[in-house]
Every structure is written in C-alpha cells, then in structure tokens.
Amino acid sequence: MKALITRKVGMSSIIADGGELLPITLLSATPNVITQVKTAETDGYGAIQLGFEQAKKPGKSSIGHFKKAGIIPKVVREFRVEEPAEDVEVGKQIVADIFEVGDMVNVTGTSKGKGFAGTIKRHNFKRGRKTHGGQSYRRPGSIGSMYPQKIFKGKRMAGRMGGGQVTVRNLKVALVDSENQVIGIIGAIPGPRKSIVTVKGAK
C-alpha cells in the first residue's frame, strides 16, 4: 500500500526532461506513523491507520489508543487494504520516498469554501438578457412544472458552495525530495495552503 498524509505547501513549476514547463503542487510529507493495523479476523475488514504530526493537547482516550505507536498524532486517516503486508506493524514510519517519480496517485483534500453562491457561480447557469424588457438577469428561472406539485431532490439551485471532500484521480508524481520531505505532483490539488491532503497510489 502506497499512502501518505501530507500538508499542502503551494504551487510551483519544474522543467521536464523534454524542456516542457510543468505546474506542480508541493506537499509537505513529514513521516507518517502506523498507529493501527486492522484485519478481517479482528475488525471485519482490512485497513491501515496512519498518524500525522504531533498533537499538542491529546485526550485520555487518544493516549491509550496510540500508546503502542509511540506518538500521539494530530491527524489520523485510515486507508483500506485487502490484506495488510507482513512487514506492516504499529510504530513503523512511512516517509516520502515510498513514492517514486512517475507514480500515478489519487489525491483527496477539502476544497475551498465559497459560502452561499447563486446558480451562475455554482452551476454555470447563463444569465438572462439585459435588453428588451428582460428583468431576470441572474435569477435561476423556473424550477418546476405544475405537476407534480413539488421540487425533486437534486435540483440545481443556489446554496452553499465548496468546503467538501474532493478526490482528483490519476495525477502523476513529478518530484520526490526525501531529504526535505517534499512531494511534487503535477497539476492542481483541492484545498487552501496548509490544508491536509491524503495521497494514495492509484490502482
């Protein structure tokens, strides 16, 4: 299993071997610690729980749960696996060089919150005409018919935009700096700077 919990640093660019300028997103990949290994026999499914960074004020339940790992992490994420490998054990560190340049990964983060947005910004609706007596410039227009007398769930309307979990699939790793614990991935990744981003190898 190739997976890491990282923190977004920002965007930069590198020059590829062919001279092409590639936009990359830099991720701070400080060592992750395996805090729990779940198996089908004990938990009903296989998974590996990773911890990231150090918690400042842990609770008593966290201290007991992470006692074997030797660290009380600030961020915890769980990654499903069919069956954990034999060398996977609690307390083992996973560092940035688990990935290699050219690997394809799936990246998950929390997108930037935009607040309450209208239909034009949220769903790319067209605005109404501004001439010939048109009064519906940025209104959504009709949202239903006479029958049935209800609005179906999922109707595209104004509402809260952003601030949700977003997964971008099949991005390519362009940079792995194990000395500075940084990973560079080609393309944009959801979320603001300093946000938590999980990177998992694409199947």
- What is the band of 88 on the pLDDT scale with cuts at 50, 70, 90? confident
Output the average pLDDT for the chain.
Answer: 93
State the pLDDT at residue 132.
Answer: 95
- What pTM was computed for the model? 0.86
Closest CA to 49 of 96, 87, 81, 25: 81
**Assigned CATH for 3-118+167-201:** 2.40.30.10
For residue 99, pLDDT beyond 90: yes
118-134 pLDDT, tens per residue? 999 999 999 999 999 99
Report how far apart, in Å, the C-alpha atoms of 18 and of each of 14, 21, 25, 133, 161 are.
11, 9, 20, 56, 39
Q: Which residues pair with 115 in a beta bridge?
A: 161
In percent, the amount of the chain with pLDDT more than 70 equals 100
Compute the distance between CA of residue 181 and CA of residue 1 in angstroms, rounded to an integer.
Answer: 19
For residue 87, pLDDT beyond 90: no
The Cβ of residue 114 has, within 10 Å, a number of other Cβ atoms equal to 12
Domain boundaries, the chain: 3-118+167-201, 119-161
21-55 pLDDT, tens per residue? 999 999 999 999 999 999 889 899 999 999 999 99
SS (H, E, C) the chain: CCEEEEEEEEEEEEECCCCCEEEEEEEECCCEEEEEEECHHHHCCCEEEEEEEECCCCCHHHHHHCCCCCCCEEEEEEEECCCCCCCCCCCCEECHHHCCCCCEEEEEEECCCCEEECHHHHHCCCCCCCCCCCCCCCCCCCCCCCCCCCCCCCCCCCEEECCCEEEEEEEEEEEEECCCCEEEEECCCCCCCCCEEEEEECC
Contact 14, 24 (CB under 8 A): yes
